[in-house]
Amino acid sequence: MSGPIQLPPGLPAQTENILRDFVASARHALGDNLRSAVLFGSAAEGRLRRDSDINLILVLRDFSPSQAAQLNPALSLARAAAALQTMFLVEAEIPAAFQCFAQKFADIQRRHFTLCGPDPFAECRVRREDEILRTRQVLLNLAMRLRERYTLLASHPDQLASAIADTVGPLRTCAAAISEIENTPAASPKHAFAAIVAALGVPEWHYLPDYFSALREQGLPPSPAPAGVVAHLLALATALRRRLESLQ
Residue 1 is predicted with a pLDDT of 64
Looking at residue 157, its pLDDT comes to: 82
- Judge: domain 13-116, CATH 2.40.110.10: no
Domain positions in the chain are: 13-116, 128-245
Beta strands 84-90; 54-60: pairing state: parallel
| pLDDT value of position 228 | 93
Per-residue pLDDT of the chain (248 residues; tens, 9 = 90+): 667 899 999 999 999 999 999 999 999 999 999 999 999 998 998 887 777 789 999 999 999 999 999 999 999 999 999 999 999 999 999 999 999 999 999 999 999 999 999 999 999 999 999 999 999 999 999 999 999 999 999 888 888 888 999 999 999 999 999 999 999 999 899 999 999 999 999 999 999 999 999 988 887 787 888 999 999 999 999 999 999 999 87
What was the pLDDT predicted at 100? Answer: 95
Please state, in angstroms and rounded to a whole number, the distance separating the CA atoms of residues 41 and 56. 9
What is d(CA 46, CA 166) in angstroms, rounded to the nearest whole number? 21
CA distance 147 to 183: 32
Sheet holding 54-60, edge to edge: 84-90, 54-60, 34-40, 112-116
Burial classification of residue 126, based on how many CB atoms lie within 10 Å of its CB (0-12 exposed, 13-18 middle, 19 or more buried): buried
List of E strands, the chain: 34-40, 54-60, 84-90, 112-116
CA 166/CA 186 separation, integer angstroms: 22
d(CA 167, CA 106): 18
> Residue type for 29, please?
A
What's the pTM?
0.84
User: What is the three-class DSSP state of 11?
Assistant: coil
Q: Do residues 239 and 200 lie in contact, with contact meaning Cβ atoms separated by under 8 Å?
A: yes
DSSP summary character for residue 12: -
Strand partners, 59: 36, 89
Tell me the one-letter amino acid at 41.
G
CA–CA distance, 247 with 204 (Å, rounded to integer)? 25
